Structure 1
């Protein structure tokens, strides 16, 4: 009897794998089950081979696993693809059409169940109904109320007419009959405790959460050039632009996008850009301009493997150094690395307020895994969410870069008051006019760099400790690896290991040196080849992590629970 289950679907692009994923996760959540889905995609519009993993549980699950309980290859070559990436083992049940399954000979007789999807779909009305057949077969394994499926199809296909709705329902029922036969045979039994409260949860992916966070932060301008995996944020904000009064601009390139964003803040808007590593490379001159102008700016960067085009539809944490050191000259910045869907919302919202308060660039550093993974969460708590605007009404004596003890000069905008708002990319005096006064130059650097950074550090978010402070091993992680570390730590049953997880990677909270200094032994888990966060910690704390205690992954895939558990088990070696 399975108390949780993992399902993996695989087919080339264009087969509708994501459509099946949407139906399954929606229906499972509506029935009171926790769901998590993540995608593995090739960078092709058609062809290649893609897969989606869906985990179903009575507990919160939000991490990638290699083990698969139910594999559903929807085309020729799909089973081989899943086997290549260790998604099929001796305990996996494979459901699909026998004629499509090259590699079937390696499975035991009880591992395969013939599901004639194409034949059923043809009898219903054509191959377009194949996905609904597959959904019906899988949902029968979880004993999903048919009325939920009927309601889903009515909502999903209602605009296409009653006939299309009914044919999808018929396809679902035919698939469900095959699923029920499989359950009756005793070859698979799933019994997952349901919680009716889960049906009221939100099903969000990371890109939607970043977009919602931007809206909650008062974003009313976005200019970007499309680049995976960040484009869904641009799409989400464009879809809701009229509802929330957002100007959306698809720029001709990333250089233009960054400069338009800076111009928007100068005019009084709250702007952002969304991009990936290669696009951000073109934004670095504009980033330095924001530093010199002391302009607020919010940059969302969805990481993917590089350099150059790299693997545009895969995941990595390889742009930390890129973002930390980008731009010429010295100026402060803030780097958030959301750990969860909730983090993606709250930290993006916080980024706008922090950028406005300190007049600095603030980064929201995500990755393909977080942006394209989805799971159910309780409704977001908006009680403490406020748009904190810092713009002042100027008077005739206004000085844009007035030297202040805090380092923060009052920020005015054109036509809001009697003052003249002058900004300059050259070094400037307090009025904003160009200067080569070298004594004033030092004062300006002290103001915009040292004094601001000192105050920004005081607002840094502390890392979260999972486990005991008296641990033998302290394992560092950051960003989207939160859930895999948390689950692996629990499954390892190692009481002598704790995890210190960061969702702000710069500047670091003052507690970090103490955590690392008191640890008996240190280890780290990162999705990059250069141990980038480990090296940042060494620079900031003068404490290094031994190379043998670094688990680094850079093949384009997220960490699986199994490989992190193995790493934790071997830390004694």
Structure 2
């Protein structure tokens, strides 16, 4: 795909085998570049293996906020010979490739940096990645003292010898980078710096975890499953700071039941998983539906069916989240588009679960949870934990009929009432019943909550004129990519509708679609699951679909191309 000029930023890609430290360099680079007051956006593509394969990390560095991946590569540093063939379609005459000719075995024009030789002189080839780090930082004209200070902090726990060797390796790379600049070999546009010292650098997993903690979560129970594991990993690191219970369950069935039990006892809880793990939780999801028990579930989507591509991305589990579980009961499905929104929406998810006594599902994906960028610190003054637990009396009925279908929720030990719950159909007190008339009343009671939930749905946001000729609809992690693509296309009659709640659909979506002349839906799946949901809920048929399901997220350039072709 040909490159398109986008904006004042530099696109850097590092590639190498699993085990060569690509992830470490990503973490170091993003932090050091942010300390140099650059905006940073980083995302990765990696294979499902501990050693070998070919992994890449892509980092955009700029003078303004960056929140979407691009095809263009300005600087490519391959650490092994598999990288260049894999990225051939993204390399152009403008791409600067620098690396070790001895290792790469290619006919491409390479600016040779003897990484293997230099790292061996330091005692081990593992220092190749730190040399590459210094090279990149020099080419971006960063402050070497900031680099040295941060390396000392990062490697400090591993001993002074390792710290000094990594600093020496980085300075070696920095020296070679300065030489490439001074002899005119490499020239990048000057990037202005911004006052972002108070920004935080996080990824999607951390944003979800922080939002859960801010939402009053006190317990997370999960079985590890990529790419959802990062949430429980982060919460395990801070469990003592926030008095959390972090439990690695024996399987996903145990995890969902632990979370439901925690809510029954009065503690806000969640699980984090991926599609395959959530499939095992479907009976527990129905249990929450029958018990009218709150629970928050985070699904980090990856391509299926079965194991599929366990380390790649897809928006393929919307219908799984929508239809999972036997029987009919309400639920809420949220899909944050940015790290900032992930924090606030996850926090809100706990309040929604508590208020409506329903499962709330947060849909992200591998691309989203593994993406890093800097954002302003969260405004905690907006945060409020809205507990709906009551103190019970002797006449308390857990499933009391009410006008809105929401029964007062008590917990054992708070008040004098007995809090009876049952997975069988039950009466108002929670006792098993086979009264068929009562059965109908209880089903209607549970479903009645859906109309209230719709009233509090997160509204669809529009970017562009509401009376434009063309509407592009997307959800979750694709929103920011679509938005940048539409911005660069510069078409005044094109409006983007961005959804962060996909069920129930926001009420304003129906109104927006009623005035649409031409519609396009953009989704990271094969069957347009959102498009089908919109048709089911509103009767509106989307005109065109732009779909991608090869395990990678959209890039800005390919969306620009696809949208242009579609509207032409």
Name the TM-score class by shorter chain: over 0.9
Q: 2:460 aligns with which of 459, 463, 477?
A: 463
2:11 counterpart residue number: 6
Residues 58 and 192 of structure 1 are in contact (CA less than 8 Å); yes or no, is this contact kept in structure 2?
no
Residues 30 and 200 of structure 1 are in contact (CA less than 8 Å); yes or no, is this contact kept in structure 2?
no
Pairwise mapping of residues 10-29 of structure 1 onto structure 2 (< 5 A)? 10-29=15-34
Secondary structure of the 2:381 match is coil
2:127 counterpart residue number: 129
Name the CA distance, whole Å, in 2 between partners of 1:354 and 1:499: 27
Name the CA distance, whole Å, in 1 between partners of 2:196 and 2:123: 35
Residue 128 of structure 1: how far off its partner (Å): 2.7
Residue 60 of structure 1: how far off its partner (Å): 1.3
2:38 counterpart residue number: 33
Query: 2:95 matched to 1:92?
Result: yes
Q: 1:532 aligns with which of 524, 529, 534?
A: 529
Residues 99 and 115 of structure 2 are in contact (CA less than 8 Å); yes or no, is this contact kept in structure 1?
yes
1:304 counterpart residue number: 302
Number of residue pairs matched by the alignment: 563
Name the CA distance, whole Å, in 1 between partners of 2:8 and 2:493: 28
Residues 20 and 126 of structure 2 are in contact (CA less than 8 Å); yes or no, is this contact kept in structure 1?
no
Name the CA distance, whole Å, in 1 between partners of 2:536 and 2:470: 21
Name the CA distance, whole Å, in 1 between partners of 2:480 and 2:186: 28
Secondary structure of the 1:10 match is strand
Query: 2:74 matched to 1:69?
Result: yes
Pairwise mapping of residues 356-505 of structure 1 onto structure 2 (< 5 A)? 356-450=354-448, 452-505=449-502
Name the CA distance, whole Å, in 2 between partners of 1:507 and 1:447: 17
Question: Please, which moves more after superposition, 488-497 or 181-190?
Answer: 181-190
Residue 470 of structure 1: how far off its partner (Å): 2.2
2:61 counterpart residue number: 56
Residue 196 of structure 1: how far off its partner (Å): 4.0
Question: Please, which moves more after superposition, 119-128 or 145-154?
Answer: 119-128
Residues 206 and 373 of structure 1 are in contact (CA less than 8 Å); yes or no, is this contact kept in structure 2?
yes
Deviations, residues 67-92 of structure 1 (Å, cap 9, x unaligned): 10000001122222222xx2312211
Residue 194 of structure 1: how far off its partner (Å): 3.2
Pairwise CA RMSD of aligned residues?
Answer: 1.3
Residues 205 and 372 of structure 1 are in contact (CA less than 8 Å); yes or no, is this contact kept in structure 2?
yes
Name the CA distance, whole Å, in 1 between partners of 2:355 and 2:189: 51
1:557 counterpart residue number: 552
Pairwise mapping of residues 319-334 of structure 1 onto structure 2 (< 5 A)? 319-334=317-332
Query: 2:514 matched to 1:522?
Result: no
Gaps of 5+ in 1: none
Residues 488 and 562 of structure 1 are in contact (CA less than 8 Å); yes or no, is this contact kept in structure 2?
yes
What TM-score do you get using the length of structure 1 for normalisation?
0.96
Deviations, residues 49-75 of structure 1 (Å, cap 9, x unaligned): 100000011111111111100000011
Name the CA distance, whole Å, in 1 between partners of 2:286 and 2:160: 57
Residue 242 of structure 1: how far off its partner (Å): 1.2
1:101 counterpart residue number: 104
Residue 340 of structure 1: how far off its partner (Å): 0.4
Name the CA distance, whole Å, in 1 between partners of 2:455 and 2:32: 45
Secondary structure of the 1:23 match is helix
Deviations, residues 231-283 of structure 1 (Å, cap 9, x unaligned): 01111111111111111111111111111111111111111111111111111
Name the CA distance, whole Å, in 2 between partners of 1:197 and 1:456: 40
Residues 241 and 248 of structure 1 are in contact (CA less than 8 Å); yes or no, is this contact kept in structure 2?
yes
1:233 counterpart residue number: 231
Name the CA distance, whole Å, in 2 between partners of 1:152 and 1:312: 33
Residue 14 of structure 1: how far off its partner (Å): 0.3
Name the CA distance, whole Å, in 2 between partners of 1:343 and 1:572: 30
Name the CA distance, whole Å, in 2 between partners of 1:82 and 1:58: 26
Name the CA distance, whole Å, in 2 between partners of 1:561 and 1:185: 33
Deviations, residues 436-490 of structure 1 (Å, cap 9, x unaligned): 222222221121112x111111000111111111211101000001211111011
After TM superposition, where is structure 1 displaced by more than 6 Å over at least 4 residues in a row? none
